[in-house]
Amino acid sequence: MMTAGQSTGGGPFDAWHKWIAQREIEWCKKKLWSQGAVIVVAVSGGPDSMLLLHALTALDERSDCKPGKLIVAHVHHGFRGQESEEEAEFVEQETVKLGLPFEMIRVDAPGLSKREGLNPQAAARQLRYEFLIQIAHRYAATHIALAHHADDQAETVLMRMIRGTGITGLAGMAWSREEDGLHYIRPLLDLRKAEVLQRCDERGISYVTDSSNAKRSYFRNRMRLDIIPQLEEENPKLVEAMCRMADALRDEDDYMEYETRKLFQRHVKAVNGDKSVDSNSAPFIPHVQTGYILDRNTFLGLHVALQRRLIKLILNYLTRGSDQIDFEAVDSARVRAAGECSTTWRVDVAQDIVFAREYGRLLWLRIHHEHKEGADCKASFTIHRTDAMGQLFLPDNNSTLRWLTSEELKGCGNSGSMEEISVGQHHHGQAWEASFDADGLCWPLVVRTRQPGDRMRIQGLNGSKKVQDMFVDLKIAPSLRDSIPLVADANGHVVWIPGVRRSNAAYVQSSTQAVIHFALEGGAHERSVHP
Q: Return the sign of the alpha-carbon dihedral for residues 224, 227, 230, 236.
A: negative
Q: Report d(CA 25, CA 102) in Å as an integer.
A: 28
What is the spatial distance between Cα 484 and Cα 378, in angstroms, rounded to a whole number?
11
* Pick from 515, 522, 514, 479: nearest CA to 498: 522
324: helix, strand or coil = helix
Q: In whole angstroms, what is the distance from residue 503 CA to residue 464 CA?
A: 9
Question: In which element (H, E) is residue 34 found?
Answer: none
**Beta strand pairing call for 344-350 and 353-358:** antiparallel
Going by C-alpha positions, the residue among 318, 361, 306, 109 that lies closest to residue 212 is 109
245 and 170 Cβ atoms separated by less than 8 Å: yes
The rounded distance, in Å, linking the Cα atoms of 391 and 73 is 61
Residues 6 or more apart in contact with residue 383 via CB below 8 angstroms: 390, 392, 403, 444, 445, 446, 447
Q: For 4, which DSSP code?
A: B
Decide if 146 contacts 188 (C-beta within 8 A). Answer: no
* Rounded Cα distance, 119 and 159, in Å: 15
CA nearest to 83, candidates 172, 3, 179: 3
- SS3 helix, strand, coil % of the chain, rounded to 5? 45, 20, 35
At 243, the amino acid letter reads C
C-alpha 212/C-alpha 446 separation (Å) is: 70
| Residue list, annotated binding site | 44-49
Count how many Cα atoms sit within 13 Å of the Cα of residue 60 in the half-sphere of its side chain.
Answer: 14
Amino acid at 297: N
Task: State the DSSP code for 357.
Answer: E
**Distant-in-sequence, close-in-space partners of 377: CB < 8 Å, separation ≥ 6:** 370, 371
Residue set of the binding site for ATP: 44-49
Residue 466 phi/psi, 5-degree rounding, is -65, 135
